[in-house]
Structure 1
Amino acid sequence: MPVKKPNLTGRFKKGQSGNPKGRPKGSATAQSGSALDIIVNRTLTIRKAGEPQEVSVQEALQHQTYRKAIDGDKPSRREVLKMIRIREAYLHKQGQPTKLQASTRRMEPTDPDNANEAMLILGIASIDEVALEMDDHKPPLKLEPWAVQAALGRRRGGSKLTEKEIREIKRCTRDQDIIRWPRGTDQ
């Protein structure tokens, strides 16, 4: 049985549109946009300082991300820093000076609360939830194991750790069981 060749000549000549008038104006796809556009363009009513305020979904999400970043959520911090970099690049491209206000915060070596805050911000320590339940006026901290490990790794040629030092390190570390002790330490 002979094989038929397909008809390569179509109804329209090469370069000629099958719909010369195009899509009619006001068609459904042209009006609605993407699903994300529909959601982001909506407004929400939120309360700020007790007063109702209309904001876009995008603005509400940015505020929520900002609040989470302030509370210490690391992915939110990265997202806020990314927003700041994008804004700074845009302002630079527009020839506008950045409007960041310099803020100064003094950290006195004699104020342990400032040191605690710094360790929390840097991720060196975390709040000990168990001890917090017992004494809620001042959050107790536990050192992160990576920070303890880094400190132990920097000890050079010093004397051997005493039993008291080892107990103190264990007491102050969040997950003391994963610490690798230096050679010569009885652990």
Structure 2
Amino acid sequence: MSSTRFQPGQSGNPKGRPRKHRRPNVSAFEIILDKTLTITQNGKAREATVEEALQQQTLKDALAGKRLAIRKLLKMIEKRERALEQKNPEPCRKIELKHHYSADNADEALRILGIAEPEPAFPTRWKVHAWATQAALSRPGRKKLDRREADNIRFFSFDPDSLKWPRSRVE
């Protein structure tokens, strides 16, 4: 029997083929933006990334009145604001609401707006003017009224005979 390096049934590479090292998905544009440049600002040279240099140039052009640069600058500001908002969300403040209702105030508001006023024969009973009742009846999507509700509307309205009842609203 001949002598071989590997026994029958044994692979010559037990670990298998080595995997390729994958580079992260980075675009060429992102690689360029991370490079550094020497820029002169206010008479002084300093190191800055390409991205920072482009932002400085955009700001300079926007201040010079170039519309495209102004639009780009506004987008940069919006992007920054969104990032800051996500990073530091504004805490929710509980606001306590207090309601104070007065029937006298509501009655006076109805009188000032010309919607309702006291009935002359019974000053404690208020009636709604026909135009306001008609506006309420004419609103689309309202439920059907039964006979009792329709009678109450007639009773608490001035000049109920002038009301035009929408079709199929009164049962």
TM-score (normalised: structure 2): 0.39
| CA radius of gyration, larger in | 2
